[in-house]
Structure 1
Amino acid sequence: MVVKKSVTGFIISVCSILFSCAHSDKAIKTTAKPKNSNDMLPGPYETKSTKNFSKVTGWQNGAMPIAPAGFTVTKFAEGLEHPRWIYVGSNGDVFVAESNTILKGLLKFGAKISRKIKTQHIGVSANRITMFRDADRDGIPEQRFVFAENLNQPFGMLILNNHFYVGNTDALVQFNYKTGDTKLNGTGKAIVSLPAGKHNRHWARNIITNKKGDKIYIAVGSGTNVAEKGLENEIRRADILEVNPDGSGERIYASGLRNPVGMDWAPGTNVLWTAVNERDELGDELVPDYLTGVIDGGFYGWPFAYYGKHEDPRMKDQQRPDLVGKSITPDVSLGSHTASLGLVFYDKKAFPAKYSNGAFIGQHGSWNRKELSGYKVVFVPFSNGKPAGQPEDFLTGFKVEGSSDSEVRGRPVCVALLPDGSMLVTDDVSNTIWRVSANK
């Protein structure tokens, strides 16, 4: 299990280990200049930090998400309870984690937070995994099963070596599993305890294995916005952890990632990429969320710096110039406050060639910006394993354009691929999974 470390140990010994890697000061180079590159960022507080929670109206009068010409959008599933994440098994079974932010003390923040609670369903977590089976592969599942219940804010899922793994907020849990099972038996075995204490702002725990299947990577977001509750709350947080499939051998693979959620391997490479939610309350245009290749041993700034070596003024009393100097600039800006969560590389053949090996990112959408940002799925083209262009809109229509009341129809989260090359997108406030397929 996990050996606890002191705050001093966390800041000194862990960070010194992280930076001993020979490649930790070299970011993966992109052939495209990010929209908000390192020399174009505004200063902190150039605009007022605004709480602007969206008002969810749902998909009314037959409205649907909008894909580019040549694609069709259909409903794959509905009637779920806050579907957040998807894992697709080798046989095509689709596993959906239904989980949510738990209410706790949010009501004390007043009317604006209350609007968020009412319209975005914060407060109750189904703590369930539902499984769908589409045996004839026509894009409409014939069977639906309650695959697992009584979990604890489940998120990431993984099938490996006759085991089904679940990333609960407080543990990596391992169950016995064989292909075709429609229900998990037993309570499972917690093989890695994960931090989920009093301050657990970022509760999602995504998981992924490497190509060899001998390591599991666990994304653990920070407990707070910018360590305002103390660094002692952030031990083993804002990290991607690496463990063996039995839970042993834990080490920090990369750190300083405020809230890494989506993870995937760029096709044809051994490079892990992640979509990261950056910090809030520095203004409308700070700080950009980003997509980045993850360097083993790399440090990405949080909480001391952002987007490279920009010092966070809120950390001036605890500043670490040594860490700021080693902070890696990420590869691709995804826009400020977009809540970029989902990530999948397109390694199928059904979509047009321009999408081959590129990255799709699900943007859940902003709350800390005067004008809403995100609320869509974007695409980043790749060439030879590196970004080769700017993010472009792929699936829109979630935001009600021109609304004076910040209205949205839905909020995309996860993006996943079916064996036939079509894409699934979770919409966690309309409780729907959308399917995007290329026209034949």
Structure 2
Amino acid sequence: MLALVLVIAVSCKEGEDFWDSMIPETDKETTTAQVAGYVFRPALAPANEANERQLKVPSGFQVSKFAENMGQPRMMVVSSSGRVYVSDREAGTVTMLMDADGNGMAESSKVVATIKQVHGLSIYNGKIYMVAVNEVYVADMNGDGSLGQPKMLISDLPDGGQHPNRTIGFGPDGMMYLTVGSTCNACAEPNPENATILRANADGSNRKIYAKGLRNTIGFGWHPETGELWGLDHGIDWLGDNEQEEEVNQIKQGADYGWPYIYGNGKYNPADRPKGDTTYQQYLQKTTLPTLTYQAHSAPIGMVFYTGSQFPAEYKNDAFVAMRGSWNRSSPVGYKVVRLHFENGKPVRFDDFLTGFVIDNNRSHFGRLAGLAVHTDGSLLVSDDTNGVIYRISRQP
């Protein structure tokens, strides 16, 4: 466990509202802000039975281990036959898991692809698509679940920098969507494709920027009823314990979500001013603000809409989000799975769903969560890339 306190001082004129009055619209006046920043990384504890018993889910649910000793499992997809495919970016592998007897535990594990820094996965039209830092691949899925030789579709995605974890999905329009995070915490990116969501044809051609100003939207998906695209964006670090909050955004073509200059519900980032003669207010006018926000530094990773039939009916078409957990605040937040409620097709609130990974009075943890997938049996799978475990949440018999 590492703890560090950093104070950044940058000033502003006095006024009634800190963010409006202390950050001038242009650089003709002094900008000053004082921010208290922290590094706090809880120690890693084992995912043993004693710790697993501390996990909490809502009444009527249970949590168990679907697979363990998985290295650093990240993103997951499930085929129509119930085979689970898991990426491990550090190992550069995609592994297939199978629970043939339906007892809730995978009894077989096989590496089916080896691709350097592979991360995001998506199944579309009977093929599996895999994205690494710079490349997108597609492979045929054989009858036994093994994969054919991966074929490269894209080779020139932007370099990763601070956020190299690409994700991929296919929309109701049959188009490929790719997330490309920023190379930095907050900066003007020289490559316009960084801090965006890209859209391309299924064969990788005709790639264009779909939306921008998104610092790192790893988790995204289309609402099963409305077909609208939603994503969770990572907030800027080093703005304090409770800034910048994580954002829930409806992702629309051509929209700009403000990073790195505007964040939250219209706040100015004091360390990064819009370029040229553009004022903060002018940039704010063209910024699409979030629909909902969540505790800063929680680090949303995986997101999946629940379309299974095992959970109660009220869970249908809500989303689950894996909050990986903080490092840049004085006490840990995140380290959990939350339920994002949708009403009339719009997100309205969060509730805890799987908690208990932070132990020892917030000094240790035994899981930083990453990927989510709904299994064909309706259970929810959750990957932890620190202890190499995939958890399964199901209804109690």
- Decide: shared fold, TM above 0.5: yes
Q: Deviations over 1:278-324 (max 9, x none)?
A: 11001111100122221121110011111242221111373743333
Which of 252-261 and 168-177 deviates more? Answer: 168-177
**Between 278-287 and 305-314, the greater mean CA deviation after superposition:** 305-314
Please give the secondary structure, in 2, of the residue aligned with 1:83.
Answer: coil
The residue that corresponds to 2:310 in the other structure is 350
Tell whether 2:359 aligns with 1:400: yes
Partner of 1:51: 39
Pick from 311, 322, 340 the counterpart of residue 380 of structure 1. Answer: 340
SS of the counterpart of 1:146? strand
Query: Which of 74, 79, 89 is 1:84 aligned to?
Result: 74
Q: Are positions 1:224 and 2:224 aligned together?
A: no
Q: Give how far 1:352 is off.
A: 1.9
Match in the other structure for 2:229 = 272
C-alpha contact 1:300 1:307 (8 A) present in aligned 2: no
**Structure 1: runs of 5+ lacking an equivalent:** 1-38, 100-124
1:324 match: secondary structure: helix
Cα separation, partners in 2 of 1:354 and 1:161, compared to 1, 3 Å? closer
Q: Does 1:303 align with 2:260?
A: yes
Deviations 1:220-257 (A, max 9, x none): 10011001xx521x430110000001111111111101
The answer to whether residue 129 in structure 2 is matched with residue 170 in structure 1 is no
* C-alpha contact 1:206 1:261 (8 A) present in aligned 2: yes
Which residue of 84, 89, 94 maps to 1:94? 84
Please tell me the residue identity of whatever aligns with 1:58: P
Higher relative contact order (CA closer than 8 Å, sequence separation 6+): 1
Structure 1 pair 371–399 and aligned structure 2 pair: CA distance change class (3 A):
same
Do the aligned partners of 2:372 and 2:382 also contact (CA within 8 Å) in 1? yes
Q: Does 1:195 align with 2:158?
A: yes
Partner SS state of residue 273, structure 2? helix
Which aligned runs of 4 or more in structure 1 are off by greater than 4 angstroms? 42-47
Q: Which has the higher strand share?
A: 2
Q: 1:412 corresponds to which letter in structure 2?
A: L
* 3-state SS of paired residue (2:199): strand
Corresponding residue for residue 350 of structure 2 = 391
* CA 430–258 in structure 1, closer or farther in 2 if over 3 Å, else same: same
CA spacing shift, 1:59–1:140, aligned 2, 3 Å: closer
- The 1:333–1:53 alpha-carbon spacing in structure 2 relative to 1, beyond 3 Å, is same
CA contact (8 A) 2:135 2:152 kept: no
Specify the alignment match of 1:5 in structure 2.
none
Q: 1:25: which partner in 2?
A: none
* Contact 2:73 2:389 (C-alpha < 8 Å) held by counterparts: yes
Amino acid of the residue matched to residue 336 of structure 1?
A
Is the counterpart of residue 368 in structure 1 residue 328 in structure 2? yes
Q: CA deviation at 1:47?
A: 4.9
How far does residue 348 in structure 1 lie from its aligned partner after superposition? 1.8
> What is the TM-score when the length of structure 1 is the normalising length?
0.78
Equivalences for residues 33-432 of structure 1 within 5 A: 47-64=35-52, 65-99=55-89, 125-149=90-114, 151-182=115-146, 184-196=147-159, 200-212=161-173, 214-227=174-187, 230-232=188-190, 234-316=191-273, 318=275, 320-321=278-279, 322-388=282-348, 390-400=349-359, 402-403=361-362, 406-432=363-389
Secondary structure in 1 matching 2:377: coil
Give the conservation status (yes or no) of the 8 Å contact 2:248–2:291: yes
**Aligned-residue offset at 1:45:** 5.7
Matches of 2:67 and 2:133 in 1, distance apart?
25
Could you tell me whether the CA contact under 8 Å between 1:309 and 1:325 is conserved in 2? no
Letter matched to residue 352 of structure 2: D
Q: In the TM superposition, what whole-angstrom CA distance separates every residue of 1:155-191 from its partner, at most 9, and x where no partner exists? A: 1112223432111111111223345332x34352243
Counterpart-to-counterpart distance in 2, 1:289 and 1:314: 19
TM-score by length of 2: 0.87
3-state SS of paired residue (1:314):
coil
Kept in 2, the 8 Å contact 1:47–1:284? The answer is no
Q: Matched residues in 2 for 1:169 and 1:263: separation? A: 18
Q: Which has the higher helix share?
A: 1
Question: Is the contact between residue 274 and residue 283 of structure 2 (CA under 8 Å) also seen in structure 1?
Answer: no
3-state SS of paired residue (2:381): strand
5+ unaligned residues in a row in structure 2: which ranges? 1-18, 24-31
- Partner of 1:323: helix, strand, or coil? helix
Q: Distance in 2 between matches of 1:428 and 1:302?
A: 28
The Cα of 1:354 is off from its aligned counterpart by 3.0
- Closer, same or farther in 2 for the Cα pair 1:161/1:348, shift >3 Å? closer
Partner of residue 439, structure 1 = 396
Letter in 1 for 2:302: G
SS in 2 for 1:260: coil
Aligned to 2:28: none
Aligned pairs, how many? Answer: 365
Aligned-residue CA RMSD (Å): 2.2
Structure 1 residues 10-25: aligned runs within 5 Å? none
Shift of 1:262: 0.8
